[in-house]
Structure 1
Amino acid sequence: MANSDNTSGYYIIRQNDFVYNPRKSSDAPYGPISSYKYAEDGIVSPLYLCFHAKGEINPLYYEWYFRSSAWHRYIYMSGDSGARHDRVSIKDDTFFAMPINLPSEQEQSKIASFLQSLDERIAAQEKLVASLKKYKRGLLHDVLSEKIKITTETWTEHRIGEFLHSKSIKQLPTTDAPLMAFTATGGVCDKGERYDRGFLVKDASSKLYKRTDLNDFIYSSNNLDVGSIGLNLYGSAVISDVYEIFSIKDADPWFISEAIKQKPIMSRILKYRQGCLYGQYRIYAEDFLGVFVKIPSYEAQKKIGAVFSKIDGKITQEQILLDCLEKARTFFLQQLFI
């Protein structure tokens, strides 16, 4: 759709017309082709290629065809090598000469209907997973702020340092040990697999690292509010010495980690910010460990943790189903348009 008042030369598009945006992206390596869904007419830039399905072609089948990768090879083989590498360069006549093997109209309708139903099922599953995660966040906040009581006992305040104990620096072993580096939003390891727990790579340098083990508490003392904080859920590894590493004793690791990350506690911690070079700040370990956090007994911590473990199990179960559905969609998009 146009964002400028100057719309001279723009194309008018109508419902079920198709628009080819030649700009490449990681999700659309040969540019996306989208169907215009609105009832009222629209306009698009002349930089886009506009067309519509006619004759025996089912528009919904066409839409799913262009969501597949079946047409990518033709664009790759027939496109021009232009000066810009961020856009596909292909002549209109060449694009419209693209050969497409069309099944019967009845078969087109069945394929389109099946894929549409699968897409709607995936959307519903995505909504369920998002709702479960939102429910967990809300319940966790209410439990840790004592708005909802899972236990009847009185919670008492303790310094963070009563439970967190600093770990020493060790040199990176000469073996092929995993190097862990937490990020604010999780990370991607060297094989492209996503880890919520951080960035896992292999490293053979002689730089000093800190040893970390399962359920250690890790945080960066620099720019803590935009940095990483949480538990090592991976296991034995080494981590850059820019991080503070603590073992947890006399408390449940999950509970203490979640309690510290709550906004009221983080606000107390951030009051100890001290400025340093390049616009960053530092929160020294002694200040961090001196902050008070309100918690119940160890037994109650475990009880609360068990409740959220069940919720996490449900989220994991539904996420696995979502992943399977998405893989099924990818499979059918590859197989139905050969």
Structure 2
Amino acid sequence: MTKTSSSNGLEKCPKLRFPGFDEPWEINKLSDFAQRVIRKNNANQTNLTLTISSKDGLVDQISYFNKKIASKDISNYYLLLNGEFAYNKSYSVGYDFGSIKRLDRYPMGALSSLYICFALKKYNSDFIKTYFDSLKWYHEIYMISAEGARNHGLLNVSADKFFDTKHYLPNNLKEQNKIANFLNLLNRRIDIQQTLVDNLKKYKRGVFEAIFSRTLRLMPRVSQAEWTAFKLSDFATRITRKNNGATDIPLTISAQYGLIDQRDFFSKVVASTDMSGYYMLHRGEYAYNRSTSNDYPFGSIKRLDLYDKGAVSTLYLCFAIKEEVILSDFAKWYFESSQWYRSVNEICAEGARNHGLLNVPTDGFFNTVHILPSDIEEQSRIAAFLSRIHEKVIQAQEELDELNILRKGLMQQLFI
């Protein structure tokens, strides 16, 4: 690819182009290369109702929301055919001016008349699809929509103004094909990597549960010993030391990174400006966040690994592991499993919350019972094995992140 610089006026060139193409791109109204689709599903040609997923495009509404939210009578919906496009004026995170997607998964489908639908009159369809994925057309929508105006949660964009939007595109079909084929290849590589990440995460969850439920043992059968019932207080000591200015790092819990600086995670500080009363943690110590989420129905327990020290709110329950009883590296992975949920569930009042937290009493938490191996060798083997699996997941996720960053950068430079 070669770098180019954009020219002024009505003709422009993208910043990055394939060799052999130097003609300026030309400005086109959407109506020059697309025709509005307003055919109705009045003959009930399809009972498939569609919605737009930012990741997967036009998808089955029932599968996407796990319920049917469309009207029972969809005869007045637009009938969209495979290869045609729809503009969703709803805004969402990362899609401030809505999204335009092509119907690829089904021969046809029905869409609410709140969507603006169209079919191409010219241009490579794959190229136009990737162009709309680049979001380079957002400036035009911004110009025609009343800033911030919404109607029933939709951007205030009329169909007439939408088809008057202007777009810089190459007339050379070979250049369109080159761009589309390249980005499609990159998208397929990203899809493969995403599948790998998903499969590794699924495998990781399965192995974690198998090991801590004792259906999978890593010790030779002749060396296997029964696991022991420990109270948390048998292998952990509560931490209540106050920060008193020892560190200025305000910590929060991230599912992926564990205890992390709030300024990195939220891009701002949500902790109190005075953290002297916070608990101060050293590297290798633990904090239990009693806030629940879909991934952590009984809260999450994470070890501080990223910093030498940090401060957490006193709403957290903090502790250090007694290494002579349970290896900390083993405990870290145990708390990544769901095996400790049952003991916490037994001590918290069902549905009770205190400041948005599970009602888990401190004494009760440290009296929870955990079935664990007392054999240090077995603990060590489990910790090493699970660490290797975790590293493979992290490595695959980092590669996926890099591919997505590459794609985002290319999309910004390959289009105008």
Instruction: Give the TM-score category using the shorter length.
Output: 0.7 to 0.9
The alignment status of 1:300 with 2:378, answered yes or no, reads yes
Q: 1:77 to 1:189 in 2, by over 3 A?
A: farther
Choose the corresponding residue for 1:272, options 320, 325, 347.
Answer: 347
Q: 1:154 to 1:23 in 2, by over 3 A?
A: same
What is the SS of the residue equivalent to 1:99?
Answer: strand
What is the SS of the residue equivalent to 1:16?
Answer: coil
Per-residue deviation, 1:184: 6.9
Question: Which residue of 2 is the match for residue 137 of structure 1?
Answer: 205
Amino acid at match of 2:285: D
What is the SS of the residue equivalent to 1:147?
Answer: coil
Once the two structures are superposed, residues 274-311 of structure 1 have per-residue CA deviations (whole angstroms, 9 ceiling, x without a partner) of 58776953333355335242214223322221122222
Q: 1:50 to 1:264 in 2, by over 3 A?
A: closer
Q: 1:87 to 1:113 in 2, by over 3 A?
A: same
The alignment status of 1:79 with 2:145, answered yes or no, reads yes
The alignment status of 1:242 with 2:315, answered yes or no, reads yes
Mapped contact 1:165–1:248 kept (Cα < 8 A):
yes
Structure showing the higher helix proportion among its residues: 1
Question: Which residue of 1 is the match for residue 194 of structure 2?
Answer: 126
When normalised by structure 2's length, the TM-score is 0.71
Q: 1:136 to 1:122 in 2, by over 3 A?
A: same
The number of residues matched between the two structures is 333
What is the SS of the residue equivalent to 2:237?
Answer: strand
How many Å separate the matches in 1 of 2:118 and 2:144?
19
How many Å separate the matches in 1 of 2:173 and 2:342?
62
Question: Which residue of 2 is the match for residue 52 of structure 1?
Answer: 119
Aligned residue runs from structure 1 range 1-338, under 5 A = 1=49, 3-7=70-74, 9-55=76-122, 57-81=123-147, 83-84=149-150, 86-97=153-164, 98-151=166-219, 152-157=223-228, 158-173=230-245, 177-182=248-253, 191=263, 193=265, 203-205=272-274, 208-220=277-289, 225-235=297-307, 236-249=309-322, 250=324, 251-260=326-335, 262-274=337-349, 281-285=359-363, 288-289=366-367, 291-338=369-416
Once the two structures are superposed, residues 36-93 of structure 1 have per-residue CA deviations (whole angstroms, 9 ceiling, x without a partner) of 22553333222211111113x1111111110012111122123344742743223333
How many Å separate the matches in 1 of 2:217 and 2:379?
12
Q: 1:39 to 1:286 in 2, by over 3 A?
A: closer
What is the SS of the residue equivalent to 1:247?
Answer: strand
Identity %: 27
Name structure 1 gaps, 5 residues minimum: none
Amino acid at match of 2:137: W
Mapped contact 2:259–2:303 kept (Cα < 8 A):
no
Mapped contact 2:251–2:262 kept (Cα < 8 A):
no
Per-residue deviation, 1:244: 1.4
Question: Which residue of 1 is the match for residue 40 of structure 2?
Answer: none
Q: 1:103 to 1:191 in 2, by over 3 A?
A: farther
How many Å separate the matches in 1 of 2:170 and 2:408?
20
Name structure 2 gaps, 5 residues minimum: 1-48, 51-69
The RMSD of aligned alpha carbons is 3.1
When normalised by structure 1's length, the TM-score is 0.85
Per-residue deviation, 1:183: 6.3
What is the SS of the residue equivalent to 1:70?
Answer: coil
Amino acid at match of 1:34: K
